[in-house]
Amino acid sequence: MKKLVVLLSVLALMLAAVAVVSTAAPINVTYWTAPNPTQEVFWRDLAEKFNASQDEINVYVTAMVETPTSESTITNAIAGGKAPASSGNIFPGFGATLVNSEALVALDTLPGWDELVQKRAMGEIVEGWKFADGHVYILPIYANAMLFGWRIDILKELGFNEPPTTYSGIMDVGAALKAEYPDKFLMARDALINPTWWQRWFDFFMLYDAASDGQPFVTGSKVTANDEAVIAVFQFYGDLKANDYLLTQKATSPFETGLAVWRDLGPWSFPGWKENWPELVLNETFVTAPPPLPDDVTLAAGAQPKTFADAKGLVVYAQRSAEEQAAIWEFIKWVFTDPINDRAWVDATGMLPMRGDLTTNATFAKVFENNPALKGYADEMAYAVPAMANDKFADIQTALGEEGLIPVILGKKTPEQGWADAKAAIEAILAR
Amino acid sequence: MKRTRWIEVRGWSLTSPYLIFTLIFFIIPLIWGIVLLFTNWNLISPHRDFVGFANFIEALKSPKVHAAFFTTYKVMAIFIPTVLTSSLAIALLINSIPRLKGLISVGFFLPYLVSGVAVALVVNGVLSYNSPLSPMFRRLFGCVPDWFGNSTLAVMVISLMITWKLSGYYALIFLSGLSSIPKELYEAADIDGAGWWTKLFKITIPMLYPALYTVIILAVGLMFGIFTEPYMLTGGGPDLATHTWVLEIYYQAFSSMRAGYASMIALINATVTFISIIIIRKIMEGWGKRHGWT
């Protein structure tokens, strides 16, 4: 009997030990990063440091598959019940699809949100990321306020010491360029006649956001675009093509080779230029500038034209358990409450973190010393307009190209007719 | 009785891998696709509405579906004659070579194995405005043709890319057909004084009927699944001139997140493919009958 009691006691102790061990086991959570080697390295490095700093949570970082797109990979994962705890690379339009599908956690309901917003100086920024229900579902990580690049070396040869700021100024540069170099173009962009939806971010929306002072293109299920601004942008591109200033054929590195003197330019181009086009030097061969404006649009003193921002953030998925959501949130807070990590982000990716103190926080001073070209992007951050937060973003932007911009550029429609047709098509999409 | 049962069990066991494969990758997706046809589901939302035939009506009215329908036949009109001519020419060439037939056949087959994405990138570079070939185009045409901005040229380029990729593969099918034509037929024709062209049209092509039949059915079927080339080079433009069925299904499913509507387009695509192949089969069988094939 004694032996049995001892045996049972030992068994009970062993079971208790197992239970203690299992309750002490860390929670494993997965974070999906964009399929970009630099971002992957950044997140893996931080996850390792975070995992080493405590025992309760283990964060695994995996690059999401981008075949066919990162959005479809996330969709498939949710559909299959295999969503990660959190992922990056989410832009507002896709975020709207996820929010409407009840797939995301409202981040502003999680503990420590206010502290995170305050420490990252994002108070004003997150206002623009609120969805229709007033909640924030995407934590903005980075924004590339898009600028235009100009071949200032060629412009100077033509007698222009600064890039033009108005549509008529650009036409003057075009005329001078054609007179001097008939084979060169102001802009070479074959994507202008490609209906793929996201191309519109980098041609139409850059100019539209400037011309309309950032007036929302769509609000809820209504087209709220500034008609005059849309028509002005259509007219401008149509005029560029009609005057042979715009090349819509495919061309290899047209800006870099000097075939074209003007292009949309994101900061992600600079690392590649450093390696492959060392002759492209800021203020010597090229400069960056905000989008030009229609001649009849004037800005308030000291203001800059608005522009499209290629902005993305991270989300927490509702599909995971509350315990996993809390665990990944701890990691996210740990990363973004320390500006050193945002500094590491710029160093690793060359893209600017979305924080309000970028130009005033001493942590980032060295960034601009080492990469002077990024300063222009940081200055433009306050004037950056993110992509539309509408779940029909792809259809809307495809219709904008197919019914409006592309036929106008090809001379098949007038700007007014193009916009009337595009607007009707977009309204039909929104009513669906 | 026991033996019969054992034979049955063995038969089912041996066929089970294929049956399981078919069940998982064909039957279940097919049933699921049919369910999706009548919904507006985006695959992730907890809400899914039954929309009846709304997807069907929208697809029938859609200019993009119409464009996909016509693009397929436009590409087919260029692709079928060019691929038949080139693959038959390759097969005849290889067949006339006394040695190293296998090695040379593999050489022609290689384009079939090359990634469509890689080919598209090369074509993109070669036909770009400032490619090393552009001075030649300027001399020939007085300008660099707008290969992807002109509807006709864009369709032509895509058709020829697919022709290049598949000629070697189809040539292998023709080559096996050529090897089964009795030599006596050519000897008899030689005695009758028939020339090379006469022998080609009166003996070789009619005798290649089974291979020709296979190649044409394969080629027609392939036309309804074109994706990589327009996706990489034109995005379906200009003016939907290169917009294909699979491109539309892809955009609807993965950009617009409209799984139900994409399934409906896929079903219409499958129906059109089926009808087209039936028609081509009838035409081919009629031609075969006239040449003594039953």
pLDDT of residue A21: 47
| Chain B CB contacts of A251 below 8 Å | 128-130
The answer to whether B50 faces chain A, any CB pair under 8 Å, is no
Q: Can you tell me the distance from the alpha carbon of B29 to that of B180, in angstroms, rounded to the nearest whole number?
A: 41
CB A358 within 8 A of CB A364: yes
- Each domain of chain B, given as residue ranges in start order, spans 62-290
| Chain B 109-128, residues with CB within 8 Å of chain A CB atoms | 124-125, 127-128
Q: Count Cα atoms within 13 angstroms, Cβ side, for B56.
A: 11
B13-39 mean pLDDT? 93
The answer to whether A424 faces chain B, any CB pair under 8 Å, is no
Which residue from B minimizes the CA distance to A391?
B256
The answer to whether B246 faces chain A, any CB pair under 8 Å, is no
| Chain B CB contacts of A71 below 8 Å | 254-255, 257
ipTM for this model: 0.76
pLDDT of residue A65: 80
Which residue from A minimizes the CA distance to B145?
A249
Instruction: Give the gap in angstroms from C-alpha A305 to the nearest C-alpha of chain B.
Output: 30
pLDDT of residue B216: 95
pLDDT at B46 over 90: no
Q: Given the structure tokens 């579902």, which residue do they identify?
A: A137
| Chain A CB contacts of B256 below 8 Å | 392, 394-395
pLDDT at B145 over 50: yes
Residues 6+ away with beta carbon under 8 Å from A368: A359, A374, A375, A378
Q: Which DSSP string corresponds to A339-386?
A: HHHHHHHHHHHS--B--TTTTT-GGGHHHHHH-THHHHHHHHGGGEEE
* Beta carbons of B128 and A72 less than 8 Å apart: no
pLDDT of residue B225: 93
Tell me the two tokens of residue B58. 């929208």
The answer to whether B208 faces chain A, any CB pair under 8 Å, is no
Q: Can you tell me the distance from the alpha carbon of B201 to that of A274, in angstroms, rounded to the nearest whole number?
A: 61
pLDDT of residue A11: 57
Q: What pTM, to 2 d.p., does this model score?
A: 0.81
* Beta carbons of B146 and A249 less than 8 Å apart: yes
Supply the mean pLDDT for chain B: 91
B15-28 mean pLDDT? 94
Q: Can you tell me the distance from the alpha carbon of B240 to that of B249, in angstroms, rounded to the nearest whole number?
A: 14
pLDDT of residue A20: 47
pLDDT of residue A1: 52
User: pLDDT tens digits, residue range B268-285?
Assistant: 999 999 999 999 999 999
**What topology is assigned to B62-290 in CATH?**
MetI-like fold (1.10.3720)
Residue numbers of chain A with a pLDDT score lower than 50: 18-21
| Dihedral pair phi/psi, residue A318, rounded to 5° | -70, -20
| Dihedral pair phi/psi, residue A149, rounded to 5° | -100, 140
* Beta carbons of A250 and B128 less than 8 Å apart: yes
A-B C-beta contacts closer than 8 Å: 94
User: pLDDT tens digits, residue range A105-115?
Assistant: 999 999 999 99
| Chain B CB contacts of A69 below 8 Å | 254-255
* Beta carbons of B148 and A250 less than 8 Å apart: yes
pLDDT of residue A3: 61
Least confident of A398-402, A403-407, B102-106, B208-212: B102-106
Q: Can you tell me the distance from the alpha carbon of B36 to that of B48, in angstroms, rounded to the nearest whole number?
A: 10
* Beta carbons of B128 and A252 less than 8 Å apart: yes
The answer to whether A70 faces chain B, any CB pair under 8 Å, is no
